[in-house]
C-alpha cells in the first residue's frame, strides 16, 4: 500500500482537516517533476547536482515503564495522590518543552556553512510560526518550488497550532483528573474506614510491607496510618490523607435507574452527603471510564504527532528526489526541534496514567490494567467469511426451492391460498422484515467503512465489540435460512382428511422459531456476539422507558429503526392472538381481525415506536432547552396522528376518515421529508460550496445525494396505498402487498441511516470531536479549592 493511502487510513478521522495535507503537497511535487522532465529536453541545460545529505531520522516517542511499590496495595489505595502532572499548586504548568533548537532564533539563519549549497532559510517568528524562504526562486520553474514551501509552511504551522492546543488541553484535564482521584481516595478512606497494620516509619525504606499482610490494628485511626510517603533529603516523611476535602465536595452521580430518576423528580436532588458504598462504587466506575478515555486521548495525540512527522519526512524526501536538492535535512531538523518533535509531555503523561490506573483501578495487576487501557482491535476471522458464504448459499437454495414448490404444487391457484396468506404468511413475514433490515444495516456498515465514517465512536461501541458488515450479513443469512426452512414445512395447502386439521408439529414451527430467537437474544452465555446483543437490549430498554433516561444517540437511533418496524410489532401481536385467544392454529383459522381488543392493540402497537421518539424529544427539550427538539417532537406527534388516522380508516372506512387520513398523512409526510433532508442529512443548503447540498461531502458523486433525496420522498409516499384503497394487486395478495410496502420502508430507512451518520460524522469532524464525554463524579462547592 502506498504511503498516501496508508496515511489516510491511519488518520483519526475527526481530526482529518488538521493533518498535514499530503495529497496537495504531492500534487505540487508532481508539477515540479513534469516541469523538470520537459526541461531535460533542452540541450544546453546542465544536469542538476546530486544531493549532498540524507534526511534526518524520524524519532518516535516511547512511553516509560512503571515501578513496583513496596507497600501493600491495601494501604496504597488510600494514599493522597500527588497528581498526573508535575505542576505547581498554583496551577501554572511546568514547562517541559524548551526551545533548545539553535536554529529557532527570531531571525533568518543559514542551514549550510557553504553558501553555494544553501536552498532554504527558515525563520520562526514571535508567535511560534515558521516561514521558509526558497533561495533558488530566480531559477526557471522556481515559482512552483516557492509555492511548495509556502504550502509546506502552512501545513506545518497548522499542525503545530493544533498539537500545542491539544497538549495544553490534556494537561488541564490531567490536573482535573488528579484532583478527582484525590477526592476518590479520600472517599475510600471515609467509606471503608480501613485499619491496617502499617510498618514502622523508620523501616519503610529497608523492609517494605508484604502485599498479603492481613494483620489489623483496630485501635489505630485511619488518618494516622494512611499516609503518602514523600522523599525529603535522606529521610522519608508522611503526608496525611486529605479526608477533610470531602466537606467541600458534592457528588455529581446522576440517577441510573427509572426508580431513582422518579425519586429525584418527585423529591428533588438530596443535598445531604451520605458517602455510601454504592456511591463509592459508582464514583470508581466513572473514574475508571474517565481514565480509559483520557488514555485514549493521549494515544491519539501520540499517533497524530508521529504520523505528521512521518508525512513531513516522506514529502520532503519525495521533493529531494524530484529536484535533486537537499532541503529535507534542514527542514526535518527544524521539525524535530519544534514543539511537535521535542515535546515529551504526552509520553510522560501516558506513563503516569498507566501507573496510576494499574495501582488504583486494576488491583495492581499490570497485565489487566494495560488490557483495559489498550483494547486490542478486532481481527477479521476467516471462519466468518466461510460461514457467511455457506449460509448465503443455503438461503438462496431454499428460496429457489420455495419458488419451485409453489410452481409445481400450483399453490398460487389452490383453494387454500387465501387461508395460507391470512394465517401463515404474517407469521413468517415478521422474520423477513428483520432479515431485510439486517441486510440494509450490513450495507450501511460497508459504506460507512468505505467512506471512513467512524460509526463505532458515534454509537459508543466499546473497542473490539462492534460488528462488521460480514458479521451482520452472517446473522441476516442465518435468519433467512431458518425462515425459508420453516416456510417450506408449512407449504401444505390441504388439511389431513382423517383429522380435518393440519399437522400440529408443522403448525408450531413459526412459534418455535420465535421462541428460539428470543432465547438466543437474551442468552447469558458468551456466544453469538453477546456484547452486541446486550448493547441492543440496553438501548431497547431505555427506549421503552424513554422519559426516564437521558437520551443518547444509540437510543434515539434505535427508536428511529423501530418506527420502520411497525408491521413487525403488529406481527408479534398476531402471534399472541393466533396461538392464544383468537385462533385455532390446527385448522389455520382465527377471529383476530373481528376482535375489538385486537383492533385496539393493533392501533396501539403501531403508535408505540413513534411514542418512544416523541418522549425522547420531550426529554431533550427539557434538558437542553433547544427549540429544535420541540419541533422534532411535533414531527413525531404529527406522525402518530397520521398512523392512527390511517389505521382507523382501514377498519371503519368512510369519507370522513378518508379526509382525516389524507390530511394528517400529507402533513406528516411533508414534515418528515423536510426533517430528513434539511435536518438529519444537512442537505439543501443553497449557499454551500456544493449547491443545494452541503459544504462537506464524503461521496465524491454529487448525483448520489440528489437521487437519495428523490428516493426518500417517493418511498415516503408508500402510505398512499392505504388511503387509495389498493388492497390487492394483480397476482399479489393484500398481505403480500403490505409486506412489499414494509420492505420499501425498510429500504428507505437503510438509505436514511447512511446519510444521517454521515452528517453526524461531519459534525464531529467540524468540531474535532474524537472522544466520548465522561462525566466526573465530584464537584467543588462553596468556592473551595481543596481539591
> Structure pTM?
0.83
Q: Which residue has the cell 412489499?
A: 740
Check whether 111 has a pLDDT greater than 50. no
Check whether 227 has a pLDDT greater than 80. no
DSSP 277-305: HHHHHHHHHHHHHHHHHHHHHHHHHHHHH
Tell me the C-alpha distance between 763 and 620, whole Å: 19
How confident is the model over 477-490, as pLDDT tens digits? 999 999 999 999 98
Alpha carbon separation from 678 to 331, 552, 637, 666, 686 (Å, rounded): 46, 21, 19, 18, 11
How confident is the model over 308-342, as pLDDT tens digits? 999 999 999 999 999 888 889 999 999 999 999 99
| pLDDT-above-90 percentage for the chain | 54
List the beta bridge partners of residue 501: 496
Check whether 95 has a pLDDT greater than 60. no
pLDDT of res. 249: 81
Average pLDDT score over residue span 508-516: 94
Check whether 233 has a pLDDT greater than 60. no
Report the length, in residues, of the chain.
787
Ranges 69-73, 348-352, 687-691: which has the least confidence: 69-73
Check whether 92 has a pLDDT greater than 90. no
Ranges 161-165, 218-222, 726-730: which has the least confidence: 218-222
Tell me the C-alpha distance between 787 and 249, whole Å: 8
pLDDT of res. 222: 34
- Of the candidates 768, 773, 780, 772, the residue with the CA atom closest to the CA atom of residue 165: 768
Taking the alpha carbons at both ends of the chain, their separation in whole angstroms is 50
All cell numbers assigned to 343: 515535546
Check whether 679 has a pLDDT greater than 70. yes
- pLDDT category at 54 given cuts 50, 70, 90 is very low
pLDDT of res. 75: 53
Rounded mean pLDDT of the chain? 82
How confident is the model over 686-702, as pLDDT tens digits? 889 999 999 999 999 99
- pLDDT category at 622 given cuts 50, 70, 90 is very high
- Of the candidates 343, 342, 371, 346, the residue with the CA atom closest to the CA atom of residue 357: 371
Check whether 414 has a pLDDT greater than 90. no
How confident is the model over 549-564, as pLDDT tens digits? 889 999 999 999 999 9
pLDDT of res. 606: 94
- pLDDT category at 199 given cuts 50, 70, 90 is very low
pLDDT of res. 251: 81
Amino acid at each position: 500500500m502506498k504511503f498516501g493511502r496508508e496515511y489516510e487510513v491511519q488518520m483519526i478521522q475527526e481530526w482529518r482537516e488538521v493533518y498535514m495535507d499530503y495529497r496537495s503537497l504531492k500534487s505540487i511535487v508532481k508539477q515540479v517533476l513534469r516541469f523538470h522532465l520537459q526541461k531535460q529536453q533542452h540541450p544546453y541545460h546542465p544536469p542538476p547536482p546530486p544531493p549532498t545529505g540524507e534526511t534526518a531520522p524520524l524519532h518516535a516517542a516511547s512511553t516509560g515503564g512503571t515501578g513496583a511499590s513496596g507497600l501493600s496495595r491495601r494501604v496504597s489505595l488510600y494514599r493522597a495522590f500527588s497528581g498526573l502532572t508535575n505542576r505547581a499548586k498554583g496551577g501554572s504548568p511546568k514547562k517541559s518543552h524548551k526551545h533548545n533548537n539553535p536554529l529557532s532564533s527570531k531571525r533568518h539563519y543559514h542551514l549550510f556553512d557553504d553558501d553555494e549549497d544553501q536552498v532554504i532559510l527558515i525563520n520562526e517568528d514571535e508567535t511560534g510560526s515558521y516561514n521558509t524562504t526558497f533561495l533558488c526562486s530566480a531559477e526557471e520553474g522556481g515559482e512552483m518550488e516557492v509555492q511548495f514551501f509556502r504550502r509546506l509552511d502552512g501545513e506545518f504551522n497548522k499542525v503545530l497550532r493544533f498539537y500545542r492546543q491539544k497538549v495544553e488541553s490534556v494537561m488541564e484535564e490531567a490536573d482535573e483528573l488528579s484532583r478527582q482521584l484525590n477526592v476518590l481516595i479520600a472517599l475510600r478512606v471515609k467509606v471503608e474506614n480501613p485499619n491496617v497494620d502499617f510498618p514502622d516509619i523508620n523501616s519503610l525504606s529497608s523492609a517494605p510491607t508484604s502485599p498479603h499482610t492481613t494483620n489489623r490494628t483496630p485501635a489505630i485511626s485511619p488518618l494516622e496510618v494512611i499516609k503518602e510517603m514523600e522523599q525529603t533529603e535522606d529521610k522519608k516523611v508522611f503526608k496525611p490523607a486529605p479526608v477533610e476535602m470531602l466537606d467541600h465536595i458534592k457528588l455529581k452521580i446522576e440517577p441510573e435507574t427509572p426508580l431513582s430518576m422518579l425519586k429525584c423528580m418527585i423529591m428533588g436532588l438530596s443535598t445531604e452527603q451520605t458517602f455510601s458504598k454504592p456511591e463509592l462504587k459508582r464514583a470508581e466506575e466513572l473514574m475508571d471510564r474517565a481514565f480509559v478515555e483520557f488514555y485514549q486521548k493521549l494515544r491519539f495525540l501520540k499517533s497524530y504527532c508521529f504520523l505528521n512527522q512521518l508525512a513531513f519526512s516522506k514529502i520532503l524526501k519525495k521533493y529531494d528526489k524530484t529536484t535533486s536538492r537537499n532541503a529535507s535535512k534542514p527542514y526535518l531538523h527544524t521539525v524535530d526541534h519544534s514543539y511537535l518533535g521535542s515535546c515529551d509531555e504526552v509520553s510522560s503523561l501516558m506513563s503516569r496514567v498507566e501507573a496510576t490506573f494499574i495501582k488504583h483501578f486494576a488491583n495492581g495487576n499490570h497485565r489487566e490494567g494495560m488490557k483495559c487501557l489498550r483494547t486490542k482491535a478486532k481481527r477479521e476471522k476467516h471462519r466468518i467469511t466461510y460461514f457467511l458464504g455457506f449460509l448465503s448459499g443455503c438461503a438462496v437454495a431454499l428460496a429457489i426451492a420455495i419458488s419451485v414448490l409453489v410452481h409445481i404444487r400450483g399453490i398460487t391457484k389452490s383453494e387454500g391460498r387465501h387461508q395460507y396468506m391470512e394465517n401463515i404468511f404474517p407469521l413468517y413475514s415478521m422474520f423477513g422484515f428483520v432479515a431485510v433490515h439486517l441486510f440494509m444495516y450490513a450495507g450501511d456498515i460497508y459504506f460507512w467503512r468505505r467512506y471512513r465514517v467512524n460509526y463505532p465512536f458515534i454509537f459508543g461501541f466499546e473497542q473490539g465489540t462492534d460488528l462488521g458488515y460480514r458479521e451482520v450479513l452472517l446473522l441476516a443469512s442465518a435468519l433467512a435460512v431458518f425462515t425459508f426452512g420453516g416456510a417450506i414445512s408449512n407449504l401444505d395447502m390441504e388439511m389431513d382428511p382423517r383429522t380435518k386439521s393440519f399437522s400440529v408439529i408443522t403448525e408450531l414451527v413459526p412459534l418455535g422459531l420465535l421462541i428460539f430467537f428470543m432465547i438466543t437474544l437474551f442468552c447469558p452465555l458468551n456466544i453469538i456476539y453477546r456484547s452486541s446483543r446486550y448493547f441492543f437490549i440496553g438501548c431497547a430498554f431505555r427506549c421503552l422507558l424513554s422519559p426516564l433516561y437521558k437520551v443518547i444517540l444509540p437510543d434515539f437511533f434505535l427508536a428511529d429503526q423501530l418506527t420502520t418496524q411497525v408491521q413487525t410489532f403488529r406481527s408479534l401481536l398476531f402471534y399472541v392472538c393466533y396461538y392464544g385467544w383468537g385462533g385455532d392454529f390446527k385448522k389455520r383459522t382465527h377471529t383476530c381481525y373481528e376482535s375489538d381488543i385486537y383492533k385496539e392493540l393493533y392501533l396501539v402497537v403501531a403508535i408505540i415506536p413513534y411514542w418512544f421518539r416523541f418522549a425522547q424529544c420531550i426529554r431533550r427539550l427539557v434538558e437542553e432547552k433547544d427549540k429544535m427538539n420541540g419541533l422534532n417532537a411535533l414531527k413525531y406527534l404529527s406522525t402518530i396522528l397520521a398512523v392512527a388516522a390511517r389505521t382507523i380508516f382501514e377498519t371503519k372506512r368512510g369519507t370522513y376518515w378518508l379526509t382525516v387520513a389524507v390530511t394528517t398523512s400529507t402533513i406528516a409526510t411533508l414534515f418528515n421529508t423536510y426533517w430528513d433532508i434539511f435536518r438529519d442529512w444537512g442537505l439543501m443548503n443553497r449557499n454551500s460550496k456544493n449547491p443545494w447540498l452541503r459544504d462537506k461531502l464524503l461521496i465524491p458523486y454529487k448525483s448520489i445525494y440528489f437521487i437519495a433525496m428523490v428516493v426518500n420522498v417517493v418511498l415516503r409516499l408508500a402510505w398512499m396505498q392505504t388511503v387509495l384503497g389498493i388492497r390487492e394487486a394483480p397476482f399479489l395478495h393484500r398481505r403480500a402487498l403490505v409486506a412489499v410496502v414494509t420492505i420499501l420502508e425498510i429500504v428507505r430507512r437503510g438509505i436514511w441511516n447512511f446519510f444521517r451518520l454521515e452528517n453526524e460524522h461531519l459534525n464531529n469532524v467540524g468540531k474535532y470531536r474524537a472522544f466520548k464525554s465522561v462525566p466526573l463524579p465530584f464537584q467543588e462547592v462553596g468556592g473551595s479549592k481543596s481539591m
